[in-house]
Chain A
Amino acid sequence: MNGLFLATVFHLSVAFFLLGMGWRCLGWLRAPVPLKIPLTPGPKTRVGVAARLAGETIAFRSLFRAAPGLWVVAWLFHLSLVLLLIGHFGGLVAPKFSQRLLGLTAEQFTAQAQLSGGAIGILAAASLLGLLLRRIASKPLRAISTAGDFFLLLLLLLIVATGLAMRFAGQIDLREARAFVSGMRDFKSAVPSPDSVFTTHLLLVCALLVYAPFSKLVHMAGVFFNPALNQTNTPRERRHIGSGLGPARVVFPPAKTP
């Protein structure tokens, strides 16, 4: 497919994703937090709050206590997403830099990219399948799952599957892929897409980026705005000035005073 076209679609998708997520965050920020509602016992300092949020977002602390089995699958899935993101950036957008950083020869670098990319891709696919099977097999989970939940899991599975296909089925030429990505990055050359699987993979990612701001994927930003987690537990140490929710009308005539 035409490289310039793909490059345009991809850049627009990324921009849409960033603007969309920013717009959603702004939407939350526009609404005030009228009351102090931290979960207690909770941290009393900003540092403590940062630690609480780090624990939730890095280690999924609450989920670990709630459902250790789900924690394993969910945590591995999110870990693989982060690693894949880093790997794609390091291997395709900035390969020279990454190679120097790792101190490898070009051959070694390619070999490790294929090895780690393949392994993490399999991990992502396995954890995604686990999440999907869980939604189908468990009665309570079926009851709470929406069409959107399945749509997202399938979309992610397709993205990972096309990625794995390039690695294991057709052995994509990494040089071609890098050339395409750098062409896309610079908008300079109209390097054609290496093959149709690659094109599909890229377009599916674009679909995910565009869908994200409308979907539950906003949870990646939302958790940081949650007053139950990000407020200090200091209602009595510092007065919380809550706006919003309007003044109370006195419906009753003032009752007898003491």
Chain B
Amino acid sequence: MKPFRTHRGRVAPLDRVNIDTDQIIPKQFLKRIERTGFGEFLFHDWRFSAEGKKDAGFVLDEPRYKGASILVAGKNFGCGSSREHAIWALADFGFRAVISSSFADIFANNGTKNGFLTVLLRENEAADVMRRAREIEDYQLTIDLERCEVRDDQGFRANFPIDEFVRHCMLEGLDDIGLTLQHEPEIAAYESLHPVPSALQPSKP
């Protein structure tokens, strides 16, 4: 996993609440069996007309937000389906982080497995970032995971909470599976006390 330490980048504002993963990556693009190539379908139905033409109005396609790597959005971002494809699409498009005042659990969890940060700010702070991203030309933010801090060049500064272990894994880019397998003796001990029920044994087809 790609480590996340400090990231500075352009911020794009998406001023809607309850953005669900069906909007982030619509179902027709979930049939790929790879982890790559989802970026071009990000927010597909908001960005493209039914005929496949790019709709002029969508914020990510405005020239001033081109190359943005930080997204700021309304509360309850990433609700709905557990599809990790939503993270893959955001990351593949070029985003490293999303800022919001709340995130759906599975979405945030999926992010941490992909070096993608969900930055939880207070409602007024997230609204402030949203306003600045709209009003300030080429608005840039620095997300500093070592200090759990977000700051800009215009004096905005806010701290965000994150689970200490999640932070450690993201800073180091650690492989979750490898970490769990360090506990092989405990897993084996648990399994010897809790064997697979006979009904599930492979002899029954």
Q: Do A and B bind each other?
A: no
